[in-house]
């Protein structure tokens, strides 16, 4: 590939291709917390989050646009205050869910890098 | 395919056409418009008039916000006036964007008679001409569609692979401005257009209905005219090319200047920048216009009608159809003198 | 001076009920229960209307056949005279007497009429971008209902269960392009119910519902929506499908935007189901040459919706979905209500 420069960059699409979505993590999480799928994207959790996390947009990412290399970096700043859980009209245990998602992501990363689980 | 298409048929005048050329098609595919006139006059026996006084429709300027709408309308009303002065009332438009622009203007006048009156005033003031509207207005591909069976009856070739006996797999691409703004002005409407598939099937070929068939080629004047923005343009062509690739099409046919140009040229660019090739067996997919497609089945000399001016080589395709050509004369002028080969040619000949 | 009130016996009144869907059946049953003589018309040769083609009913998944049997059983009354296979096209109403016509032929006379002519499904071909009528694997919700009723194996290809299916909400509803601005109300819950049925029949099939807003308004509807999300893992994607096309495997490629993620999206499915809205029936009956319809929606216009279901002409009442999108229980209630209103009208005129 010569990679000749014509003075512009071919824009990569932003399209989510559900056909190649990896749903194993979502299914994994649903085994423990089935309720998380009942999210209606009302945004209450985002509005009250002191760490600036958009929990409601991480969930569809996990559900539809997840590939093994996708990270959910904003969840890292969660300090488990629990306010989101308090305001959730669907009764989703968001506080626990936050820990669970990060744990699952980390253990997948560990497996990929050959680090033994604790 | 579905009968539903039949609900989008339009009135196409049967003779006595006033032809308006495109600004850019004469550079992109210099043989195509003359070929169209020749087919109409000498193969179908129709009367076609061309006026040396007709000008650009200002479409490119209009779409890039350089020419104000009222100026565009005045220029367009002058084209209509020229036609009526010469005694014609059936306008045939070569360019899809001009066709879309004329349609849009006629629609605006219909809904806003005040505006129409104002433009008639501008026209009289600027040129002294009388304001008139065409009785029938169609795109050049509509005429070929109307006479597709007559062309098939006198055709020398079929769109069939002579080695396998299979119909050629042909991608049709309709310019956005042909029917997306006014579906009722396009044969087959906007979603399942019939105008080019009508030609393809009447001449023995087979249409490829691939997922991104209705997607824009990405040309878009704003996208293309600014160099940095061309990445948006090529990304759209790439979406289409990726989507059609598994079908291994033998060729593409497009009725719009920008589409035919960019589906052709961007294949070269994509190969240069990303190393991607979208045709079968490591070859790119030739792109022709509706007139050139008609010219090929009617047995015109490929170099006479300008097929050598396309970026993707057409020789493979000519061999498949069984069209004779002299490789020696590919880059010869009318007197047979060689005019030199394009610089990049060795690279993209796969 | 006091006038002596006429003593009225119910059976001195003849009432015509046009239509035999849930609203028409309920109207006929109620009118007969009051004691009026009922002439019951339907354009089809058997009663039940569209209920005949449904499989299970939302939200509790009763079998439509059982519900219909229950309805028609109660309609076996000596006071109800069935005139099925007769299409009433117009009513001429004068001096409290109504003449029913089937085109030019007079088919009956009565004191009051309840029109319960129902609705038609939106013709999905009009939304061309979905390719209904072009692609074999694009179907409508009533098509799917028939498939579920007559054998879901039709959804398999070469004996193999579908891998994925998508439902498009609001096809022919809330759409200015086609001049239908109203919400058909029942398509959301139909989509939810059918999605659940698909997940039950084919547990490995992924199901995507593309919606603008989920309007689960009825009793038990919201609960079913939540079950669909949580228990059945149906993917509800907020965004309207903009284009459907076919790929080489004859599967349907769907383009939409996931508006909650603000990203365009693509998914390939084995079947695309269009949840078609409700439009006025093409057999809507005219009264004294007038269509009596709401200029916005085309459904029958009630003279005073707060007061009852009477049309502008006294003595003529609307029941069920010919007056606007309605669920089966609502249509049945509306039929019962129309019968009582007709009785009140006849005894007080």
- Reported as a single tens digit per residue, the pLDDT across B77-89 is 999 999 999 999 9
In whole angstroms, how far apart are CA C117 and each of A79, B288, C56, C324? 60, 55, 22, 11
**CB distance A38–C229 less than 8 Å?**
yes
Question: Cβ of B248 under 8 Å from any chain C Cβ?
Answer: no
Interchain proximity A4–B227, CB inside 8 Å: no
Q: Where are the domains of chain B?
A: 12-140, 148-348
- What CATH number matches the domain at B12-140, 2.40.30.170, 1.10.10.1110, 3.40.50.880, 1.20.1050.140? 1.20.1050.140
Q: Is CATH 3.40.50.300 the classification given to domain C122-278?
A: no
Q: Which residues of C touch A59 (CB under 8 A)?
A: none
Q: Could you give the ipTM of this predicted complex?
A: 0.91
Domain C10-118+281-348 has CATH 3.40.50.1000: no
Which pLDDT score, from 0 to 100, does residue C2 have? 52
Render the burial of C184-207: b for 16+ CB within 10 Å, e for the rest. Answer: bbbbbbbbbbbbbbbbeebeebbb
**For residue A75, what pLDDT band results from cuts at 50, 70 and 90?**
confident
How many whole angstroms separate alpha carbon B58 and alpha carbon A54?
48
B1 has pLDDT over 50:
no
Q: How far is A9 from chain C (nearest CA, A)?
A: 20
- Which of C6, C125, C20, C11 lies closest to C71, judged by CA? C20
| Chain C residues near any Cβ of chain B (below 8 Å) | 125, 128-129, 131, 133-134, 243, 245-248, 253
**List of chains touching C (3+ CB pairs within 8 A):** A, B
Nearest-neighbour CA in chain A from C214: distance (Å):
10
pLDDT at residue C56 above 90? yes
Mean pLDDT of B217-239: 89
Q: Which residue of C has its CA nearest to A18?
A: C267
At C63-85, the pLDDT tens digits run: 999 999 999 999 999 999 999 99
DSSP per-residue letters across B189-204: TTTS--HHHHHHHHTT
Instruction: State whether residue B214 sits within 8 Å of chain C by CB.
Output: yes
- Spell B92-121 as b/e; 16+ CB within 10 A means b: bbbbbbbbbbbbbbbeebeeeeeebeebbe
Chain A contact for C213 (CB, 8 A cutoff): no
- Chain A CB within 8 Å of residue C149 CB: no
> Given a cut of 80, is residue A70 above it in pLDDT?
no
What confidence tens digit (pLDDT) does each residue in B159-207 have? 999 999 999 999 999 999 999 999 989 999 988 899 999 999 999 999 9
pLDDT above 90 (res B340): no
pLDDT at residue B5 in the model: 58
Q: Give pLDDT, residue B2.
A: 43
Cβ-based contacts under 8 A for chains B and C? 31
User: What band does B349 get if pLDDT is binned at 50, 70 and 90?
Assistant: very low
Q: How many domains does chain A have?
A: 1
CB neighbours of residue B155 within 10 Å: 18
**A33 CA: distance to closest CA in chain B (Å):** 37
| Alpha helix stretches (DSSP H) within C78-234 | 141-150, 187-201, 221-230
CB within 8 Å: C128 and B246: no
Q: Which of A16, A61, A66 to mutate to test the interface with C (most CBs of C within 10 A)?
A: A16
* CA–CA dist C91, C311 (Å, integer): 12
Is A6 an 8 Å CB contact of chain B? Answer: yes
Q: For the whole prediction, is pTM greater than 0.95?
A: no
Residues A27, A29, A34: CA angle, nearest 5 degrees:
85
Does C226 lie at the interface with A, CB-CB under 8 angstroms? yes
- Chain A residues in contact with B239 (beta carbon < 8 A): 13
Q: What is residue C5's predicted lDDT score, i.e. its pLDDT?
A: 57
The one-character DSSP state at B91 is E
Lowest-pLDDT choice from A14-28, B28-42, C43-57, C152-166? A14-28
CB atoms A14 and C264 under 8 Å: yes
Rounded CA separation B178/C240 (Å): 25
Residues of B in contact with C129 (CB under 8 A): 191
Is the backbone of residue C220 left (phi > 0), alpha (psi -120 to 50) or beta? left
For chain A, the chains sharing at least 3 beta-carbon pairs closer than 8 angstroms are B, C
Q: How many CB atoms are located within 10 Å of the residue C22 CB?
A: 30
Cβ <8 Å between B214 and C246: no
Q: How many CB pairs lie under 8 A apart between chains A and C? A: 54
Determine the structural domain holding residue A53 and report its residue range: 20-111
Closest CA–CA distance from residue C45 to any residue of chain A (Å):
45
Q: Which of B227, B238, B275 sits opposite A10 (nearest CB)?
A: B238
Q: Do C128 and B192 touch (CB under 8 A)?
A: yes
Q: Cβ of C266 and A15 within 8 Å? A: yes
Distance from CA of C172 to the nearest CA of A (A): 24
pLDDT given for residue A118 in this prediction: 62
Chain A hits for B234, CB-CB cut-off 8 Å, are 8, 10
- Binning pLDDT at 50, 70 and 90, where does residue C3 land? low
With CB atoms and an 8 Å threshold, state whether C128 touches B190.
Answer: yes
Domain annotation covers residue A66: yes
Mean of pLDDT values over B251-259: 96
Say whether pLDDT at B158 is over 90: yes
Cβ-in-10-Å burial (0-12, 13-18, 19+) of B124 comes to middle
C266 and A16: CB-CB below 8 Å? yes
Distance from CA of B259 to the nearest CA of A (A): 18
Residue A118 inside a domain? The answer is no
Helix (H, G, I), strand (E, B) or coil at A50: coil
Would the CATH topology of C10-118+281-348 be identical to that of C122-278? Answer: yes
* Whole-number average pLDDT of chain A: 87
What residues in B contact C128, CB-CB < 8 Å?
Answer: 4, 183, 189-192
pLDDT band at residue C1 using 50, 70 and 90 as cut-offs? very low
Contact C134, B4 (CB under 8 A): yes
* Best CA proximity match to A26, nearest among A53, A59, A56, A57: A59
Find the CATH number of the domain harbouring A70: 1.10.1060.10
Contact check, Cβ <8 Å, B210/C247:
yes
Which of C176, C244, C174, C242 has its CA nearest to residue C213?
C174
Q: How far from B350 is each of A47, B38, B318, CA to CA, in Å?
A: 57, 34, 16
**Across residues A96-112, what is the average pLDDT?**
89
The bridge status of strand A16-17 relative to strand C263-269 is parallel
Residues in chain A closer than 8 A to B230 (CB atoms): 6-8
Q: Per-domain residue ranges for chain C?
A: 10-118+281-348, 122-278
Q: How many CB atoms lie within 10 A of CB C163?
A: 15
């Amino acid at each position: 590939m010569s990679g000749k420069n014509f003075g512009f960059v071919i824009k990569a699409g932003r399209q989510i291709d559900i056909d190649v979505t990896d749903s194993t993590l979502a299914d994994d999480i649903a085994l423990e917390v089935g309720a998380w799928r009942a999210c209606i994207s009302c945004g209450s959790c985002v509005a009250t989050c002191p760490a600036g996390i958009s929990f409601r947009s991480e969930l569809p990412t996990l559900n539809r646009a997840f590939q093994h290399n996708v990270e959910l970096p904003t969840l890292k700043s969660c300090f488990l205050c629990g306010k989101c859980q308090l305001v959730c009209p669907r009764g989703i245990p968001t506080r626990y869910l936050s820990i669970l998602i990060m744990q699952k992501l980390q253990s997948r990363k560990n497996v990929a890098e050959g680090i033994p689980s604790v | 395919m579905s009968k539903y298409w039949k609900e989008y048929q339009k009135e196409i005048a049967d003779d006595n056409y006033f032809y308006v050329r495109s600004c850019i098609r004469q550079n992109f595919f210099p043989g195509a418009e003359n070929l169209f006139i020749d087919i109409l006059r000498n193969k179908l026996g129709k009367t076609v008039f061309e006026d040396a006084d007709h000008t650009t429709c200002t479409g490119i300027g209009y779409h890039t916000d350089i020419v104000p709408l009222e100026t565009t309308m005045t220029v367009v009303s002058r084209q209509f006036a020229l036609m009526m002065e010469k005694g014609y009332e059936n306008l045939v438009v070569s360019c899809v964007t001009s066709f879309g622009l004329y349609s849009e203007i006629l629609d605006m006048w219909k809904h806003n008679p005040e505006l129409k009156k104002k433009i008639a005033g501008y026209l009289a003031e600027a040129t002294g001409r009388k304001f008139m509207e065409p009785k029938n207005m169609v795109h050049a591909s509509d005429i070929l569609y109307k006479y597709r069976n007559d062309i098939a009856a006198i055709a020398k070739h079929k769109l069939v692979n002579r080695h396998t006996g299979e119909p050629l797999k042909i991608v049709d691409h309709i310019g956005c401005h042909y029917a997306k703004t006014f579906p009722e002005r396009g044969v087959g409407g906007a979603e399942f257009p019939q105008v080019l598939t009508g030609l393809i099937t009447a001449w023995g070929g087979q249409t490829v209905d691939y997922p991104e068939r209705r997607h824009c080629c990405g040309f878009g004047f704003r996208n293309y005219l600014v160099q940095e923005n061309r990445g948006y343009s090529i990304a759209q062509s790439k979406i289409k090319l990726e989507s059609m690739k598994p079908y291994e099409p033998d060729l593409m046919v497009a009725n719009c200047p920008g589409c035919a140009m960019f589906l052709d040229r961007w294949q070269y660019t994509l190969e240069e920048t990303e190393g991607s090739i979208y045709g079968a067996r490591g070859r790119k997919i030739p792109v022709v216009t509706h007139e050139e497609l008609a010219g090929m089945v009617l047995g015109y000399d490929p170099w006479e009608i300008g097929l050598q001016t396309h970026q993707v080589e057409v020789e493979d395709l000519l061999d498949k159809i069984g069209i004779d050509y002299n490789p020696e004369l590919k880059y010869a002028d009318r007197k047979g003198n060689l005019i030199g080969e394009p610089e990049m040619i060795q690279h993209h000949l796969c | 001076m006091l006038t002596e009130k006429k003593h009225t016996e119910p059976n001195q009144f003849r009432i015509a009920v046009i239509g035999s869907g849930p609203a028409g059946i309920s109207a006929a049953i109620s009118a007969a229960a009051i004691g009026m003589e009922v002439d019951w018309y339907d354009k089809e040769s058997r009663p039940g209307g569209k209920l005949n083609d449904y499989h299970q009913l939302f939200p509790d998944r009763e079998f439509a056949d059982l519900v219909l049997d229950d309805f028609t059983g109660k309609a076996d009354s000596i006071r109800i005279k069935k005139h099925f296979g007769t299409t009433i096209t117009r009513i001429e109403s004068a001096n409290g007497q109504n003449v029913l016509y089937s085109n030019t032929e007079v088919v009956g006379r009565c004191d009051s009429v309840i029109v319960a002519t129902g609705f038609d499904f939106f013709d999905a071909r009009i939304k061309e971008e979905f390719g209904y009528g072009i692609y074999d694997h694009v179907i409508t919700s009533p098509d799917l209902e028939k498939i579920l009723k007559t054998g879901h194996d039709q959804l398999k290809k070469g004996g193999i269960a579908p891998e994925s299916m998508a439902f498009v909400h609001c096809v022919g509803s809330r759409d200015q392009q086609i001049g239908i601005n109203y919400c058909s109300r029942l398509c959301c819950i139909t989509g939810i119910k059918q999605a659940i049925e698909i997940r039950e029949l084919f547990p490995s099939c992924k199901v995507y519902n593309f919606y603008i807003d989920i309007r689960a308004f009825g009793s038990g509807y919201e609960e079913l929506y939540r079950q669909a999300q949580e228990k059945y893992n149906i993917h509800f994607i907020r965004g309207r499908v903009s284009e459907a096309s076919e790929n080489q495997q004859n599967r349907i490629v769907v383009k939409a935007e996931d508006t909650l993620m603000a990203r365009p999206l693509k998914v390939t499915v084995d079947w695309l189901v269009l949840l078609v809205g409700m439009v006025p029936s093409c057999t809507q009956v005219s009264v004294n040459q007038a269509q009596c319809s709401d200029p916005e929606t085309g459904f029958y216009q009630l003279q005073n919706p707060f007061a009852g279901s009477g049309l502008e002409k006294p003595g003529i009442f609307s029941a069920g979905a010919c007056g606007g999108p309605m669920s089966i229980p609502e249509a049945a209630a509306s039929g019962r209500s129309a019968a009582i209103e007709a009785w009140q009208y006849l005894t007080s005129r």
